[in-house]
Amino acid sequence: MRDWAVIFDVDGVLLELTRAEEELFFKPFATRLDADALSRDWNSYRIRNDAEIIKEICEAHGLAASERHMIMAEYLALLEAELAGRSLESQAIPGAVKLLLEVAPFAMLGIATANFRKAAELRLRQLDLWAAVAALAFGADEGGHKSEILARAIAASALPPSRIIYVGDNITDVVAGLTNHVHFIGFSIHSDRLRELAQHGATQLAQNHNETLALIKSFLVC
């Protein structure tokens, strides 16, 4: 059994989140309210988590709790159809495919994402990346902050936090790493985002996945 696990956020680390994918998330709301008026700033919601965002929007607009499940199901069906028909294309972060291949021989791989698990699966599967992370894949479905999602992945790994490396690109990822006492790598191809991550406590930073791999290997020899 591998005695390390490397867990990745999805958007901004393994995949680009395209504008078309963002808009698809809000499409099921269009038959229920003015979807164009909904904020596309994920950080404007109480909890940056797909399930929690749907819950917040439904509450704010007086939609019944049962609508949440219908909206989620409609969104996932739309996503699956558009990916299958190639009208929507998943886009890998440069170097992500090679990174997973390089790390897989010596560590369990997983994801802790604010996307629904099925949404992450559909998007990663289109690029043949799902199998690499499927055994330790956790998403927004059970709700909660990113720190709670990561905690579920850690528990499933059966490894101590000292043997977990988490790679993320958002302030919520930094908080999740610190809260769960794991090794954290702040990743972004954008230097301004790296500065922001550093300001919030990330001490190990990577601007490309060659740097990510080097940092992962450095933790293994600590």
Contact 174, 197 (CB under 8 A): yes
Bridge partners for 111 per DSSP: 8, 137
Q: How confident is the model at residue 2 (pLDDT cuts 50, 70, 90)?
A: confident
Bridge partners for 168 per DSSP: 186
List strand residue ranges (DSSP E) for 11-153, in order. Answer: 15-16, 91-92, 108-112, 137-138
Q: What pTM did the predictor assign?
A: 0.95
Residue 118 pLDDT more than 60?
Answer: yes
Average pLDDT of the chain is 96
> What is the rounded average pLDDT of the residues 179-202?
97
Q: How confident is the model at residue 208 (pLDDT cuts 50, 70, 90)?
A: very high
